[in-house]
Amino acid sequence: AKNSGRNTIRFYDPKMQEAIKYKVAIETSLKRALKKNELELYYQPKVDDAQTIIALEALVRWNHPERGFIPPSEFIPLAEENGLIIPLGAWVIKTACLQLARWSLEEKTSSLTIAVNLSIKQLQSDNFVATVERILKSTKCPKGKLIFEITETLFMGDVDAIVSKMRNIKEMGVHFSIDDFGTGYSSLSAIKKIPLDELKIDQSFTQDIKSTDDEAVIIHTIIGMAKNLGLRVVAEGVETNAQFEFLKNAGCHVFQGYLFSKPLPFEALKKIL
């Protein structure tokens, strides 16, 4: 603590100062990154039970000129805090839609869908429905090929307002998937209230399959419930054949994980399609 002035004492915590400095630096450079195209979308395949690639998930990558690769787990939460998630998220949607428009022209890629991760902040923003409409039009994005992945954090906000926006967006031919399912606090009855097409079981369940019977019970329960609601079930984080076999037998429709492929840049992905 340093005495500065008569009655005020300021506390300096070097660690906190550094964290704040880092935050500010990242915020400044993220603005630049958006302008200068330092962001890139990688695509991770989703496969069916015959391991055929049927869909892709877009995952954003940031190659910072000095700091190198910064993972989304580090800059997405910051972008949510400072509002940059709005332009960043719009860039991700637009880039995925442009890709879909291009792919619709080639036989090998014309049936693929692309899933884009949404932050709840985007769904809460006033202009989001209009933004999506504008992007779909300007990119000539083919109908029915774009999927938005949202998480259970949506239940922490004004659910009715969000559901109404989701309905508007669904009318434009966009589908919705609930991501990381099982990690939040949403109940099965709450899930019924939101207009979903797909449910993704969180990767923590996949990775614990071998360790306890509890995980198996949870997975069977989630799959049974999802099927009753008419949802397509995706298992995430599949890394081993044993996990793949278990999930297939449990009735999952779609599988995603390092066993099949890591997220890849567009050029590398093209080679495995």
- Which residues of this protein are in contact with ligand C2E, per CB under 6 A? 44, 59-60, 71-73, 76, 89, 92, 117-119, 179-180, 203, 237-239, 257-258, 263
To the nearest whole angstrom, how small is the minimum distance from the Cβ of residue 157 to ligand C2E? 15
Q: What is the residue type of 80?
A: E
* Residue 186 interacts with which of ligand C2E, Ca ion, none, CB < 5 to 8 Å by class: none
CA 111/CA 118 separation, integer angstroms: 22
Q: Does 117 bind Ca ion (CB under 5 A)?
A: yes
Q: Which residues pair with 264 in a beta bridge?
A: 43
To the nearest whole angstrom, how small is the minimum distance from the Cβ of residue 59 to ligand C2E? 4
Residue 142's alpha-carbon distances to 90, 132, 266, in angstroms, are: 17, 13, 19
- On whether the CB atoms of residues 57 and 43 are closer than 8 A, the answer is yes
Side-chain-side CA neighbours of residue 61 (13 Å):
15
- On whether the CB atoms of residues 175 and 198 are closer than 8 A, the answer is yes
Q: Which residue is nearest to ligand C2E (CB)?
A: 257
Residues 6+ away with beta carbon under 8 Å from 170: 176, 195
To the nearest whole angstrom, how small is the minimum distance from the Cβ of residue 141 to ligand C2E? 16
* Residue 258 interacts with which of ligand C2E, Ca ion, none, CB < 5 to 8 Å by class: ligand C2E
Q: Does 180 bind Ca ion (CB under 5 A)?
A: yes
- Cα angle value 39/43/49 (rounded, 5°): 165
To the nearest whole angstrom, how small is the minimum distance from the Cβ of residue 193 to Ca ion? 21
Which is nearer to ligand C2E, 89 or 182 (by Cβ)? 89
To the nearest whole angstrom, how small is the minimum distance from the Cβ of residue 119 to Ca ion? 11
Q: Does 179 bind Ca ion (CB under 5 A)?
A: yes
Which is nearer to ligand C2E, 86 or 225 (by Cβ)? 86
* Residue 257 interacts with which of ligand C2E, Ca ion, none, CB < 5 to 8 Å by class: ligand C2E
Residue 146's alpha-carbon distances to 56, 85, 142, 154, 255, in angstroms, are: 10, 19, 8, 20, 18
To the nearest whole angstrom, how small is the minimum distance from the Cβ of residue 93 to ligand C2E? 9
Structure tokens at 214: 């509890």
Binding mask 139-158 for Ca ion (x = CB under 5 A): ----------x---------
CA 39/CA 33 separation, integer angstroms: 6
Which is nearer to ligand C2E, 189 or 211 (by Cβ)? 211
Binding residues (CB under 5 A) for Ca ion: these are: 117, 149, 179-180
